Amino acid sequence: MHNISFEFFPPRTEEQKLILESTWQKLAPLRPDYLSVTFGAGGSTLDATRDTVEALAAATGVPVAPHISCMATSEAMLHDLLQRYSEQGIRRLVVLRGDRPDGTAGPGPFQYANELVGYIRGEFGDRFLIEVACYPEFHPESPSAESDLHYFRKKVEAGADGAVTQYFYNADSYFAYLDDCQRAGIDVPITPGVMPITNYRQLARFSAMCGAEIP
């Protein structure tokens, strides 16, 4: 059963690295199950993500799960990255389609998360525990909640072990979503994603983009 995990953005400057270190020291007493590290829009933080994963794994002793997205530029690059993570003892991944800055198809060989999950399973077997994303208030690009559940099921059928939700603040939406998943035959663990409210204006803007309701 999941306890709690924390998601970090890869720092770009020395000052941000110090902030990350300080933040982790404050969160460490909560003993998270794992830490995840994001992958920037369009694959813009690939090197920073990899470096942050390695630094956190060495410094914390807590399992670290890098985000892996379809924005990888080639299958060979993706394979090399996953092989490197495997050799470093990384055993959990968060696999996503990834944000497309201009809304067009990405440059890599995979366009959707289920394709990427299937590739990782085919190449690495059960070496990684794979988490994917899911959306209690459904993805803003999906025409309906039913369509969104269909694509979530495709990710599970491709080999996902569990899912982390897009953040939400309406608990009823989360529990209703669990019921919908059960009826749809989706029985993997679904971990709720929560974003701390530190800037309400920014949160409201991002929530409008994501379709997340703020009660």
pLDDT digits (tens, 9 = 90+) for 86-130: 999 999 999 998 766 555 555 568 889 999 999 999 999 999 999
Round to whole Å and give the CA distance between 48 and 61. 19
Of 114, 23, 37, give the one whose Cα is nearest residue 81: 37
Using pLDDT thresholds of 50, 70 and 90, give the confidence band for residue 152: very high
Of 55, 51, 60, give the one whose Cα is nearest residue 31: 60
**Contact in structure between 107 and 137 (CB atoms under 8 Å):** no
Q: What pLDDT was estimated at residue 66?
A: 94
Q: What pLDDT was estimated at residue 1?
A: 46
Return the number of other C-beta atoms located less than 10 Å from residue 156's C-beta.
Answer: 22
Question: What is the pTM for the complete model shown?
Answer: 0.85
- Residue 93: how many CA atoms within 13 Å on its side-chain side? 26
Round to whole Å and give the CA distance between 134 and 148. 8
C-alpha 184, offset from chain centre: 22
- For residue range 43-90, list pLDDT tens digits in order: 556 788 888 998 898 888 889 999 998 876 688 988 999 999 999 999
Mean pLDDT (the chain, rounded): 85
Provide the annotated active-site residues: 7
Rg of the chain on CA atoms, in Å: 17
Where do we find the tokens 């309406």? 170
Q: Which residue segments constitute the domains of the chain, with CATH numbers given?
A: 5-210 (3.20.20.220)
Task: Give the percent of the chain with pLDDT over 70.
Answer: 84
Q: What pLDDT was estimated at residue 208?
A: 73
C-alpha 8, offset from chain centre: 11
Run of H or E including 174: helix 171-183
Q: Please give the angle made by the CA atoms of 87, 46 and 4, to the nearest 5 degrees.
A: 70
- For residue range 160-169, list pLDDT tens digits in order: 999 998 878 8
Q: What pLDDT was estimated at residue 191?
A: 87
Q: What pLDDT was estimated at residue 46?
A: 73
